[in-house]
Amino acid sequence: MTDDRLRMTPGPTTVPAAVRERMSEPTPNPDVEPAFFDFYRDLTGKLEALYGGDDIVILGGEGILGLEAAIASLVEPGDRVLCIANGRYGEGFAEFVELYGGDAVVCDVPWRDPLDRAAVEAALADGSFDVATMVHCETPTGVLNDIEPVLDALADHDVISVVDAVSSLGGVPVPTERIDVCLGASQKCFSAPPGLTVCSVSDRAWRKIESFETDGFYTDLEPWRDVADEEWFPYTHLSSNLYGLDTAIDLLLEEGLENVFERHEAAATLCRERAAELGLSVYSDEARSSPTVTALEVSGRAATLQRTLAEEHDLVLATGLGDLEADVLRIGHMGHNARRDRVDRTMDALEAVL
């Protein structure tokens, strides 16, 4: 079965043929075949190279599982958590904190604005915090946050950092070596199918995780710390998805991360240049827009444009989320889709529809 539809959404992204072929290999039993643990150790080693260190945990579940698992594993009832936000997912961390009995203190700014280090420092000075959360790339708005100044402030107060880098990791540089728990997912810049959460965990984070009993099982990171050494998984892992992720990471590493980053920058620049020619503006300041996704303002036309592009041009784009659903059209030039020919096809179709 062939499918000529071009899916330029900000995740899930197009899965390369090599990844699909790898996933068609015979499915092993990951719980009882020793060779699978050799494979798993090799895969986590590749991911450590991508992350730049720290232990790697791969969970069987879409990226949101990682956000919840980080909170479930790090936050005891009564813990104060600083949720630093300028978008939907940054604000959403507070809901997980409250779900697990923590005290969420939200330090937020308007969605078009950058994270405010001064406000973060004021909040830190006002009381003690165990954990702080933030988002590197806010996919609904296409904003790439400069998180290093905020990480500086958290380091000064010895606060454990949790960063959602789901839609940036593997497409843009992420200061992973400075982050205690850095969350990624298979279906974004890695261009593997949805189904896996990937995160790095620092020694400091592990100490906090192991200091109390988590009220849950599937969202608990602690059992995953020694799975490779003990050759035991807490539950049957998604072996075919892991095979696909392995090939996807091979493709990234073979291309070279610097080349991958340059490819994303070039795709984003082309997308925004052509959008400007059509009289369209990016939602946030262009200098802060992510190389992985462009959010265009379309003033109430998002759903109509999305439907027409799909029906007349076999092109799938995403609208905004929440209050931005009607007014923002999002183009995902991430992972395998961060290529000039795909961006050109997308913008040609958008030009025709407009």
- Could you read off the pLDDT of 249-274 as tens digits, one per residue? 999 999 999 999 999 999 999 999 99
Indicate whether 102 and 199 sit together in one domain. Answer: yes
pTM over 0.85: yes
Pair 145, 236 in one domain: yes
Residue finishing a domain among 222, 253, 284: 253
pLDDT digits (tens, 9 = 90+) for 95-111: 999 999 999 999 999 99
CB 86 within 8 A of CB 114: yes
Under DSSP, the state recorded for 80 is E
Domain carrying residue 128: 17-253
The last residue of a domain, from among 253, 282, 315: 253
Residues 302 and 182 in one domain: no
- pLDDT of 2 reads 56
Residue 176 has, within 13 A of its CA and on its CB side, a CA count of: 25
Determine the average pLDDT of the residues in 74-88: 97
Among 253, 281, 313, the domain boundary falls at 253
Tell whether 135 and 275 lie within a shared domain: no
Rounded Cα distance, 281 and 275, in Å: 7
CA distance 347 to 331: 10
Tell me the two tokens of residue 167.
Answer: 């839609």
1 located within any domain? no
Q: Which residues of 334-346 are buried (b: 16+ CB within 10 A; e: fewer)?
A: bbbbbbeebbebb
Confidence check: pLDDT of 1 > 80: no
At which residue do the structure tokens 């420092």 appear?
Answer: 121
> Is 120 found in the same domain as 107?
yes
Question: Which two tokens mark 64?
Answer: 């949101």
Q: What whole-number distance in Å separates Cα of residue 192 and Cα of residue 58?
A: 14
Q: Which residues face 83 on adjacent strands?
A: 106, 133
338's CB contacts (< 8 A; 6+ apart) are 171, 260, 263, 264, 266, 267, 268, 291, 292
Give me the number of domains the chain comprises: 2
How far is it, in rounded angstroms, from Cα 40 to Cα 224?
12
Do 240 and 106 lie in one domain? The reply is: yes
Per-residue pLDDT, 332? 98
**Tokens 């340059």, residue located:** 262
Task: For residues 139 and 271, state if they share a domain.
Answer: no
**Residue pLDDT, tens place only, 326-338:** 999 999 999 999 9
% of the chain at pLDDT higher than 90: 94
pLDDT per residue over 29-57, tens digit each?
999 999 999 999 999 999 998 898 789 99
